[in-house]
Amino acid sequence: MSGIEVIAVPSMFPGGLDAQRSGHFGHCDLFTLVVLKNKEVQSTQQVANAEHGEGGCLIPVKNLYRAGATSLVVAGIGRRPRLGFEDAGIKVLVGQGETVGEVIEAYKAGQVRPIENADLCGGHGHQ
């Protein structure tokens, strides 16, 4: 479907466009998925985050893939989940914004970029 994008943003409860954006995908309460058609918001939905334990950082990859995410916009992420998302065909991007809505506006304005190695978090102590 041309012009359809599904953007996942790590979010704090309860999710949605007004929700606080989480600074690190592994510590978010949930993911807000925003469906854009020709850059216009069509709908949002929430996808629960998995318990962040051993091997848990790849569970969100499977959950977001099943939910149809095409991109993930983060402030921080580790190497292992980044590679998992890329293997699943989900683009991992870096962008700014305090709320999910602000992140989506930055996305629509082209103010996000592909994540680079220098952006990756080094361990579970990242906040």
Q: What are the residue boundaries of the structural domains of the chain, listed by start?
A: 4-115
Q: Note the pLDDT of residue 125.
A: 45
CA distance linking residue 19 with residue 22, whole number of Å? 9
Distances (CA, A) of 82 to 25, 38, 59, 62: 10, 26, 12, 12
**Rounded distance between C-alpha atoms, residue 16 and residue 59, angstroms:** 21
At 127 the pLDDT is 41
Predicted pLDDT at 70: 98
Mean pLDDT by runs of 10 across the 127 residues of the chain is 88 97 88 97 94 70 95 92 95 96 97 92 53
Q: What is the pLDDT of residue 52?
A: 60
Fold of 4-115: Nucleotidyltransferase; domain 5 (3.30.420)
